Amino acid sequence: MPLRLPFYKLVYKRLEIEGDKMVLSCVNHVKSGWKSVFMVFTTVADDRSLHCLLTVYTWKKCTLRTGSVRESTVLSTLKVRDPSLNHSAAEAKEEEWGRIYLYYYIHMTKIIHLKDIVPAATNTVNAQFILLEKGGIARDGKEMTCPALVADETASVHFQMWGSECETFEPGDIIRLADGIFSYHKNNLVLRAGKRGKAEKVGEFTMLFVETPNMSEIRWARDPNNLKKFVQEAIVSPHSRIFGPSR
């Protein structure tokens, strides 16, 4: 979308100028899960490869904010910054590991459209949407919860807000969800940040949306060919039954 591009260019340009320092300052922002993976690589990789990985990782984190992912650019960046071209089998292996790792990373952090989310027990949903309506705030043990209707240009879904999210997010807010989870929670199929995910407000108002289909109002069944996956079985309701279409 045209509205996102300028920020992407700005970030990319900054990396060209300040790559090193930005990389190092961002190491602290590595999520705990990825940190341990990095630990493995630091033991087998030399400084240069780690440098490449960190650079690209940082860039990925930045582009996560903009939502644009260019695999070819990421991989070519790795090639450009990684000077080791000849080399021993060990070095070649490091490079190989690096690329595999990063390719894995790229696929894990792609932003998806709401119409493509599928119930799963993993926190791998990276999406951007606008908040349409909030329900009432209730208590679930010690924490506050609040159901909400959110949507992007492709679909809507019920988003379960938790804790401080309930009071912070307001209708009209554009929210970026990282590492969210779309699953059954107390018999409701909802999208939420969960323990490992993070929802952040990135803007207001300027995003288009549709309210149908609503991904929470679909009956899902297990894929007979792959019992770990779900497929759409039937539409329970085209619009949210909790919030209803806008009057």
Task: By CB under 8 A, name the binding residues for another protein.
Answer: 7, 10, 14, 17-18, 21-22, 25, 65, 132, 164-165, 168-169, 171-172, 176, 199-202, 204-206, 208-209, 246-247
Nearer to another protein, 39 or 208 (CB): 208
Going by DSSP bridges, is the β-strand pair 188-192/198-204 parallel, antiparallel, or unpaired? unpaired
Q: Nearest distance from residue 149's CB to another protein, in Å?
A: 10
Q: Nearest distance from residue 119's CB to another protein, in Å?
A: 25
Q: Nearest distance from residue 16's CB to another protein, in Å?
A: 9
Amino acid at 117: I
Amino acid at 126: N
SS3 state at 177? strand
The answer for residues whose C-beta is within 8 angstroms of residue 207's C-beta and 6 or more apart is 128, 129, 130, 152, 153, 174
Q: How many CB atoms lie within 10 A of CB 194?
A: 20
Nearer to another protein, 3 or 234 (CB): 3
Q: How many CB atoms lie within 10 A of CB 130?
A: 22
Nearer to another protein, 120 or 135 (CB): 135
Nearer to another protein, 78 or 131 (CB): 131
Q: Tell me the C-alpha to C-alpha distance, in Å, between residue 35 and each of 3, 26, 32, 111, 206.
A: 33, 12, 5, 21, 35
CA distance 14 to 63: 13
Q: Nearest distance from residue 193's CB to another protein, in Å?
A: 9
Nearer to another protein, 42 or 206 (CB): 206
Q: Nearest distance from residue 205's CB to another protein, in Å?
A: 5
Q: Tell me the C-alpha to C-alpha distance, in Å, between residue 72 and each of 23, 76, 77, 106, 151.
A: 20, 6, 8, 11, 29
Nearer to another protein, 47 or 205 (CB): 205
CB 217 within 8 Å of CB 238? yes
CB 195 within 8 Å of CB 177? no
Q: Nearest distance from residue 12's CB to another protein, in Å?
A: 13
CB 63 within 8 Å of CB 11? yes
DSSP code for 192: E
Q: Nearest distance from residue 209's CB to another protein, in Å?
A: 8
